[in-house]
Amino acid sequence: MMEEKGYETMREEKLYFASDYQEGMADEILVRLQETNRTPTAGYGQDPYSESARTRIREAIGIPEAEIYFLSGGTQTNATVIDGLLRGYEGVIAADTGHIAMHEAGAIEFGGHKVLTVAGENGKIRADILAAWLKAFYQDGNHDHMVFPGMVYISQPTEYGTLYSLGELTELRGICDTYGLKLYVDGARLAYALASEENTVSLADLGRLCDVFYIGGTKCGAVIGEALVIAKPQLIPHFFTVIKQHGALLAKGRLAGVSFDTLFDGGLYERLGRRALRMADTLRKALVDQGWRFLFETSTNQIFLIIENGKYEKLQEDVVCSYWEPFDEKHTVIRLATSWATGEREIEQLIQIMKRLS
């Protein structure tokens, strides 16, 4: 990473803690963009930067034969992978709070597939709940009239900032094996999972336990792009064409190529993640000290706070944050997210603002 103090400058008056996609790109990537800007390259991900990025990612995962594709955003990646993995009569199991179940405007259904929801717990699918769901499905005498489960979708970290442990992920894999299901992990914010002290799931574990997963770039310092990893080559035949059909093929693949080639050069991806978590930890501790209540514990870059409605209104004068859901008549749940770009001064300012409100 460039000189850290660089991250302290040039921020706007209002504090931005709504999400991690509200930032530009890591300085190191901007520099590479400049250096390579006047070099013409092949399109559609065939450029040398994408090739180099693929090599670095394969090394990081430890699977030399893995297929790597770069797509431009999370919803698109989910829709393309899920459609590529499923047969027409199959659906995808997700937690009822999963991104594909809630906030992708029906992109999965647009592709013809049902999202089969199971009750989530803090954003996660519990292995025993999944197992019970599957057992009940196959017991039902009418299941030939129902959508067959074909795969399981989880996110790491989840939409609630929580993490699957290695044990939990291994258990889910076992259930998937039993029922012939594919396992797919949405890693839109993976940098913030990998950097967490609580985290026990490495990139290598994801490569070993998932059929497909993606390493998020858009929310983790890239110009644009998500790096999709298909651990077993040829799992999805003609996936290049599937991407094109979904409108998800980047003509200028070099943007994602340069991004990931830089993110996976010398551990930048992890460093960016750690920075965001250091900021989140500082904020979290201060909020605890100030007596704020949380919806539940998280160890990543997202903090879900319960706040009185009046105070929430006041907070919005100075801070851009995310409305999450009503808590009760008088309280609202909001999300405060740090990112790779969050500066120490901003955290201090936010802590002061929260203190005045507490």
| Footprint (CB under 8 A) of a copy of itself, residues 238-267 | 238, 240-242, 244-252, 254-255
Quick one: 285 or 330, whose CB is closer to a copy of itself? Answer: 330
Residue (6 or 174) nearer to a copy of itself, CB: 6
User: How many residues sit in the footprint of a copy of itself (CB under 8 A)?
Assistant: 90
Closest CB to a copy of itself among residues 104, 205: 104
Which of 64, 105, 317, 329 is in the footprint of a copy of itself by CB under 8 A?
105
CB of 242 vs a copy of itself, minimal distance in Å: 5
Locate 32 and state its tokens. Answer: 């590479």
Q: Do 82 and 111 meet the contact criterion of CB atoms below 8 Å apart?
A: yes
Q: How far is CA 287 from CA 290, 294, 348, 356, in A?
A: 5, 9, 12, 12
Q: Pick the binder of a copy of itself from 79, 175, 206, 347 (CB under 8 A).
A: 79
Contacts of 290 (CB under 8 A, 6+ apart): 354, 355, 358
To a copy of itself, the closest distance from the beta carbon of 26 in angstroms equals 9
Of the pair 174, 180, the CB lying nearest a copy of itself is at 180
Report the residue from 3, 5, 64, 142 that binds a copy of itself according to the rule CB under 8 A.
142
Parallel, antiparallel or unpaired: strands 148-155 and 182-186: parallel
5-34 positions binding a copy of itself, by CB under 8 A: 6-7, 9-12, 16, 18-19, 21-25, 27, 30, 33-34
Of the candidate spans 136-144, 196-204, 282-290, 306-314, the one that interacts with a copy of itself by CB under 8 A turns out to be 136-144
Give yes or no for a contact between 96 and 120, defined as CB atoms under 8 angstroms apart.
yes
Residues 49-78 that bind a copy of itself (CB under 8 A): 72-78
CB 166 within 8 Å of CB 205: yes
Residue 164 or residue 340: which is nearer to a copy of itself going by CB?
A: 340
Least distance from a copy of itself to the Cβ atom of residue 170, Å: 28
Say which residues have a Cβ less than 8 Å from residue 35's Cβ, sequence separation at least 6.
none
Site string for a copy of itself, 156-195 (x = CB under 8 A): ----------------------------------------
Beta-carbon contacts of 80 under 8 Å, excluding residues fewer than 6 positions away, are 71, 242, 243, 246, 248
* 133 near a copy of itself, judged by CB under 8 A: no
**Residue 16: closest CA among 356, 320, 336, 240:** 320
- CA separation, residue 83 to residues 68, 103, 173, 241 (Å): 17, 17, 20, 12
CA–CA dist 184, 302 (Å, integer): 22
Q: How far is the CB of 312 from a copy of itself (least distance, A)?
A: 12
Provide the minimum distance between the beta carbon of 280 and a copy of itself in the complex, in angstroms, as a whole number.
16
- Please, which of residues 274-333 interact with a copy of itself by CB under 8 A? 320, 322-323, 325-326
| Residue entry with tokens 């929580």 | 162
Torsion of Cα atoms, 299 then 184 then 201 then 272, to 10°: -60
